[in-house]
Chain A
Amino acid sequence: MTGEMKKQNQPCTLSVKDITKSFGTNAVLKGVSIDLHAGDVLVLIGGNGAGKSTLMKIIMGIYRADGGEICIDGKAVNMTNPSAALAAGVYMVPQEPMLFPNMTVEENILMGFHESSQELKKRLAKHMEELGFKLNLQRKANTLSIAEQQLVEILRGMMREAKVLILDEPTSALTFGEVQALFRVVEDLKSKGISMIYITHRLTEVFEIATDVAIMKDGVITLRGPVGEFDKEMLIRGLLPTDAEMQESGRTAYVPVPYDKLKPVMEVRNLSGYGFSNISFDLYPGEILGIAGVVGAGRTELISTIFGRDKVLGGTVKLDGKDITGLPTARILKEGINFVPEDRHYHGLFKIRSISSNTTSALLNTDEIGRVEINRKRQNEISQKYVDEFRTKIVSLEDLIGSLSGGNQQKVVIARSLSTNPKVVILDEPTRGIDAAARGDVYNIIHQLKDAGVAVLMVSSDIEEVVELADRAVTVFQGRINGEFGHDEITQDVLTGASFGIAQKKAVSE
């Protein structure tokens, strides 16, 4: 009670008012306001692409806001670059610590100051003693664990007398013991009156350290208040898209997959690798299996390992009964698995080649389009077939692929992977960055694949997409599968809850 009273009378340590920011035509922040008092720990949660990182980068002066105001201790500050933010007493501990790997811990912490080094060292020793940190200052930063690197980052913030500390997903790469140690540090800082913004994807953490919670969705803060006013169910509901009901009623008549008559085409057993562990699932022909989860849960690592791009640490992958664990990518392609990557530009497209060259590029090491010389006619026939089937909007097959819109580019990438007649198609975020109309077309194509008997493995952070398309779904949380759902069980609540680490079975059965 008295605590609340006291808070109201003090000016806000950090006050962010009506921040807006657009990248091109894409409005990322649509008027965000945040108030922090001394000693507040505001936990900010929200799905991928909600705008959390953009907001933090604006507070830190890395991006410039299009509109709005940032005040520190009641005074407006012009955050034009990180030095301005540092001078104002804001420090961000980024998700991946940004240390200088070849420098010592001491050099890392003292870099960028203007005082004499004697004095700095004295202050550093004082801060370390207060926080109870024990770190050998002469160690090179590249020998530190992630947890130790975070401590170095926090010390950097303390050395700058930071009043506001931003922690961006600090626990995403920590072990359990390290998380507990970090929470103790957060408590310590809190008692010293330092305000913190803490971004996380783990809802359980909210109730361990937050004084306040805010949920961010599509560039606005939809819900905020003292943590005491919330429970987990409210948070999950807050994370769901607002038009959830509408979307669900729009689903078309569903033809169930006759699982009892089918043999799985791909069997994954206890597969472990870098970023995931002990993953098991079956994939049946003619089904769409959705893999849901937040970014960083290990889904991308899982599928790229299956596709032979990273090392398998344990377990097996079988395709039609044949062991394909750990084969190189070229062999896996030949065995009949194809992969449509998340980032079209980096991994999917040959930007300065024509549409037909792109469509048939996966056939270059077969004899399909000519043994030595490329058979242009055959190439165009194949490309035309897919252009017609997918309703790709093009002027000529000879146009550069870069001239197409994102959705049409994605159709070409999918067409390319189909041209090899695969048994399994892996789609990573198939509709990211694609407008609504093209999205419908891509969904149709995925349905066509399914009808043709291809097994589709679809990774998506867009829960609506999984609900819309998947016959079955699994959720990945911190590198493990923590939920498997049949078609009737797939709802937005269940998948959102499981993606954020909360098994929701109970709530559903009630």
Chain B
Amino acid sequence: MNKIKDLFKARWMSSLVFLILLFLITGIADHNFLTYSNIINCFNTATMYTLLAIGIAFVIMTGEIDVSIGATLGLTAAMTGLIAQSGGSIGKMLLVCVAVGAAVGVVNGMGVAFFGVPSLIFTLGTNGLIRGLIYIVTDGRTVENFGGPIAYYGNKELFGQITLYYALTILLVAVAHVLLTRTRKGKYFIAVGDNPGGANLVGISVFRTKLIAYILCGVFAGIAGYVFASKYRQVMTVAGNGYEMTAIAACVLGGISLSGGLGNMVGAAIGAVIMSSISRLLVFIGLPSDYNNTITGVMLIVIVVVDSLTQRRSIEMSRRKRLLSRTAVGAAKGGDEA
């Protein structure tokens, strides 16, 4: 019984309720929406956002941010395409994607955790740098016309219209979730975001934890890049532009606090589905998809403002409680009667 209660109190639960409500409202607006294949499609299209979101969730969990993941996705997608054009194997593509993503993560992690540059500024810098690299790697041309096994797997369905990639992504979500919430080292991410000073005092290295978070974030962005290339078989130089915002919004919608230390991977995955569904839902509700960005922007701002207000309130409340206990009746007794 208690377990069920806890389940409903969890932050990601409200995201799930929100997602179901979104589906129901759209269903009321247009009965044609509520079909099995439409709903499964909402999940399938969330594959890349889900990968990006669980990657960046590690970073957000430690209280930092990474706005270079969209560019990392673009770069790795372009490299995947180039390897495919020259007839390389899928193993080679994945290896390159993971290695490039990890390298970006090391650079970001060093800049933020070692040199202490504010993470938004530093990753904005690497974002520009990677965008530049995409032009160099591709000579400024769209990478396309590649086939082979990568094209075959791109939209392969496993069972019941669920794509192979989404199924594998769900597997990764489960692994990341267990890693973050069930293992000792995984909890370091949460601890560092919750209270860096306290983490330091119990012997957790804040630097190492943040560095690993950035590397994981880069690796997941690299995998997302592979999926992008495989799915669309056409990688433009601007591929992945703005995906970082969607991924961040997915995390926030999924109950991960931007100030760190709060939330989990299941929430991030649900948030990703919400984000990827919105454009589809708009079509059914009858609004032009021009509203897509505006609506996600408004949602993001509302949630972030509410989140930061509640955080500030709880900090202020505990400060006041502390000050009040100093002057509480009896507290002064300690020394006066000398």
Contact = CB atoms under 8 A, between A and B. Distances in A.
B200 interface: yes
Interface stretch (A38-46, A96-104, A415-423, A484-492): A96-104
B335 A102 contact: no
B327 A275 contact: yes
Contacts of A204: 334-335, 338
A100 B320 contact: no
A81 B206 CA distance: 12
A103 B330 contact: no
Interface string B295-338: 00000000000000000001000111111111110111111101
B331 A502 contact: no
Interface string B186-217: 01101100110111111111000000000000
A176 interface: yes
Interface string A65-82: 000000000000000011
For chain B, what secondary structure do more than half of its interface residues adopt (helix, strand, loop), or is it mixed? Answer: helix
Contacts of B198: 98-100
A232 interface: yes
B331 A175 contact: yes
Given A102-B194, A174-B325, A274-B323, A142 B334 contact: no
A298 B335 contact: no
B262 A478 contact: no
Interface residues of B, number: 38
Contacts of A482: 332, 336
Interface string A163-187: 0000000011111110100000000
B261 interface: yes
A111 interface: yes
Contacts of A112: 191, 199, 202-204
Interface string A293-314: 0001010010000000000000
A198 interface: no
B334 A205 contact: yes
B184 interface: yes
Contact of B197 (A83, A98, A480): A98
Contact of B323 (A174, A203, A298, A477): A298
A146 B325 CA distance: 9
Residue picked from B197, B322, B324, B334, most chain A C-beta under 10 Å = B334
A156 B332 CA distance: 29
A103 B190 contact: yes
B327 A276 contact: yes
The 3 A-B pairs of least Cβ separation, nearest first, read A501-B335, A98-B198, A479-B327
10 contacts: A83-B203, A100-B198, A102-B262, A107-B187, A112-B191, A114-B184, A174-B331, A274-B319, A478-B327, A478-B334
